[in-house]
Each structure stands twice: as structure tokens, then as C-alpha cells.
Amino acid sequence: MEWVHFLPPNQKAPLEAMAKNGQTAVLISGAPGTGKGQIARWIHLNGPRASKTMNIGHHRDSLSRQLVETGAGSLILQEIGEWPLSDQKALLEHLRTGQGARIIATTDQNLEKRSQAGFFNAELLTELTKNRIEIPALSKRTDEFEAITKTLITELSRELGKPAPEVSASAWSQLRQYDWPGNLRELRNVLKIAVTNCQALELSANELPQFGYDRTEFHATREAFEKTYLEELLRACKGSVERASELSGMPASAIATKLQKYGLKSSE
């Protein structure tokens, strides 16, 4: 089976076991941009329900309707921490029946703290944490950073129809000294611009865009990349927020908020 390239090595065995067991619910937690949505889709595509429906669930829609539409497939619930308590209770009842759609939930929130504050169903939390994958922030993955970066460059070069360049020592130095608060999503955005700019077989530091070394300009720089990413994402999805949500792993509600922030328009 083909692994998602950013999956931590120590997570491969438990994740493979979770994929093969098509009955149990899975919780994937991690900071925004760590690839939770892609891992959720990997679980479905490498499990016994791969030939069945895979739907992306949204907290603003009817849970019962989404369960019916998914049937015996997999329902990926984006940001389970945002779902109302009434849906959380209904979801718990669904899990206890052991029938119907498989649930794969994602979150970037601390569900334990939300549960203690009364915002998340404690029994549901117990059920979901029986099979939990936690994806670390990119800043915590220094040993894997080079391999992840090279794989992203290969992937982006293929998308752009260009040979994959090597990375110069000076470029590596700049890439490694940044803490990547936007995680894999931010790294991919930076590398896409760099690979697009690169006209040689080696990617130099000069071809890297500015991405937050000057902390006084950090927020403006990050927002510029975020806007560029959203524009490219919408273009690839022909303006569909729902499709953009599926491809990026971001909740549709978060995409809609960001589009409003940057004055961008969808086709919906």
C-alpha cells in the first residue's frame, strides 16, 4: 500500500491496523495543516470499505442525513469538537450499534479540556480515543523534515510538469531554521512557489519566497501565502467550497470564513 508521505514512521503500524479494522471509529488529532484530512481518506481507501461511499461530514448539516447518505461507507467528520452536543449524543448511539457508516473524526482542539468544560460528550470521547492517531506539528519533526520536503518537491514538480530540483545548502538552511506554524500546508505553499520559480536543477535560497523570518512581517507574509493558496485551491476546484474542503482537508466553514476575509468568491 502507498503511505501518505508525511505520516510519522511510528504511526504506520497502528494506522494500518485501524484501516484494516473497518468497524471501529478513529480519531485523528493534530494542529491545523498537519494533514489530518488526507490521513482520514487514507484510512478509508486502505480499508475493507474502500469500494463504498466516503463522505465528508460538516457540523452545520444534519448528522442523521449524512449517516444515511454514507450508508455502509465511511463518514469523515471534520473538526468533531465543533459538533453540537445533540449530534455528539446521536453519534455515540450510532457507534454503539456497530452498524452503518464507519466514523473517522478529526480535530485540532483539546477534546479532553472541552469535555471537562461540558462542551464535549465524555462518553463519546472515550469511544473515539480507543483508536486515536496524533499527528505532531512540523516543528517537532526535525528528523523527518528533509524527507518530507523532498517528497513534497517531487510531488509538486510532477504537478507542474518539471524535473524535481535538488535543494541547495543555503536553501536547506533557510527552510530548517523556520518553525512552520502553518505546518505541512504552509511548507507546501512555500515549496510550490519555489519550484515554480526554479529554472535550474538546483533550488537556491533566492528562489524561496519570504516566509516569516522577519517576525514583524510574519502575519502579513503568512496571509499573503494563505490567500494565494486559496486562490489556487478554488481554481482547481472550479469555485466549489465543498470540493476545496475535500481536497485540502480544511472544514468548509473555515474556507468560507477565509474567503470572506480575503474578499474571494466561490461559485456557491
What confidence score (pLDDT) does residue 251 get?
Answer: 83
Nearest-CA neighbor of 49 among 70, 79, 27, 77? 70
Q: Which amino acid is at 140?
A: K
pLDDT (tens digit, 0 to 9) for every residue of the chain, 268 residues total? 455 666 777 888 888 899 998 889 999 999 998 989 989 999 999 999 999 999 999 888 899 999 999 999 999 999 999 899 999 999 999 999 989 999 999 999 999 999 998 999 999 999 999 999 999 999 999 988 999 999 899 989 998 899 999 999 999 999 998 889 889 988 998 998 899 888 889 999 988 887 764 443 445 556 777 788 788 788 878 888 888 887 777 788 888 888 888 888 887 6
Instruction: Quote the CA–CA distance of 208 and 211 in Å, as a whole number.
Output: 8
What confidence score (pLDDT) does residue 215 get?
Answer: 42
Phi-psi region of 133 (alpha: psi -120 to 50; beta: other; left: phi over 0): beta
CATH code at 9-136: 3.40.50.300
In the chain, ranges of CATH 1.10.8.60 domains = 140-262
- Give the CATH class of 140-262: mainly alpha
Evaluate whether 69 touches 84 at the Cβ level (below 8 Å).
no
In the chain, ranges of CATH 3.40.50.300 domains = 9-136
Instruction: Quote the CA–CA distance of 85 and 185 in Å, as a whole number.
Output: 30
* Whole-model pTM over 0.75: no
Planar angle of CA 95, 96, 100, nearest 5 degrees: 50
What confidence score (pLDDT) does residue 102 get?
Answer: 96
Q: Is 135 helix (H, G, I), strand (E, B) or coil?
A: strand
What confidence score (pLDDT) does residue 97 get?
Answer: 93
CB under 8 Å to 242, separation ≥6 — which residues?
56, 252, 268
What confidence score (pLDDT) does residue 221 get?
Answer: 59
